[in-house]
Amino acid sequence: MTGVRTTIGSPVGPLLLAADEGGLRLIEFASPRHPVALGDGWVDGDSAVLDAARAQLGEYFAGTRRTFDLPLAPRGTAFQRSVWSALAGIPYGATVSYQDLATRLGAPTATRAVGAANGRNPLPIVLPCHRVIGANGALTGFGGGLPTKAFLLRLEGALPDAADLFAMG
């Protein structure tokens, strides 16, 4: 499978974007907790999907975009894809707990599995895993780091500017 990848600048640092004929496959932070191995056949370049992702991410960071309209092609298990799909239903500026997300999926006892799938989300920001927090309101693990999670939630108005990141989890 051949695809293209590019790195763009953002307020949260460089983001690696990758797309193939199916759509956007990857948005990866500079130091990801779970790096995605794209495999062979990927080249540096541009495509219509990468151009659209770059533009929409720019609008998001500028505060003028609240939803994304991109063809997405994340790779994962059926359960992971169901979790990632559920992430897309969390509104801009809102947060849910891992327990809430598990319940939405009809698997209220699968909180840990939901958390693990959330942590493997290959399309953060677009599939907003940063909007999932601990049941007590704590900012818990995030592939881009807790300061990035706090930045994204503040950008969306879901975290007060005065919130002490280190007191939250």
Angle at 22 between CA 21 and CA 27, to 5 degrees: 100
Give pLDDT tens digits for 14-44.
999 999 999 999 999 988 777 788 888 899 9
Catalytic site residue from 129, 139, 153, 155? 129
**56 with 17, same domain?**
yes
**56 with 82, same domain?**
no
89/33 Cα distance (integer angstroms) = 24
Q: Quick one: tokens of 109?
A: 């006892």
13 Rama class: left (phi>0) / alpha (psi -120 to 50) / beta: left
Q: How confident is the model at residue 139 (pLDDT cuts 50, 70, 90)?
A: confident
Q: How confident is the model at residue 160 (pLDDT cuts 50, 70, 90)?
A: low
95, pLDDT greater than 90: yes
**86 with 121, same domain?**
yes
Lowest mean pLDDT among 16-25, 26-35, 58-67, 100-109: 26-35
**89 with 143, same domain?**
yes
146, pLDDT greater than 70: yes
- Give domain status of residue 67, yes or no: no
Which of 95, 155, 144, 141 has the alpha carbon at shortest distance from 122? 144
CB 4 within 8 A of CB 18: yes
Domain that holds residue 143: 78-167
Q: How confident is the model at residue 67 (pLDDT cuts 50, 70, 90)?
A: very high
Radius of gyration of the chain (CA): 15
| Single-letter amino acid code for the residue at 31 | S
- Give domain status of residue 10, yes or no: yes
Residue 87 Cα distances to 3, 11, 13, 119, 129, angstroms: 25, 22, 23, 12, 6
49 in catalytic set: no
31/28 Cα distance (integer angstroms) = 8
Question: Strands of 15-20's sheet, edge to edge?
Answer: 23-29, 15-20, 3-8, 42-44
Helices and strands: H and E segment counts in the chain: 5, 6
**95 with 156, same domain?**
yes
Q: How many domains does the chain have?
A: 2
- Give domain status of residue 70, yes or no: no
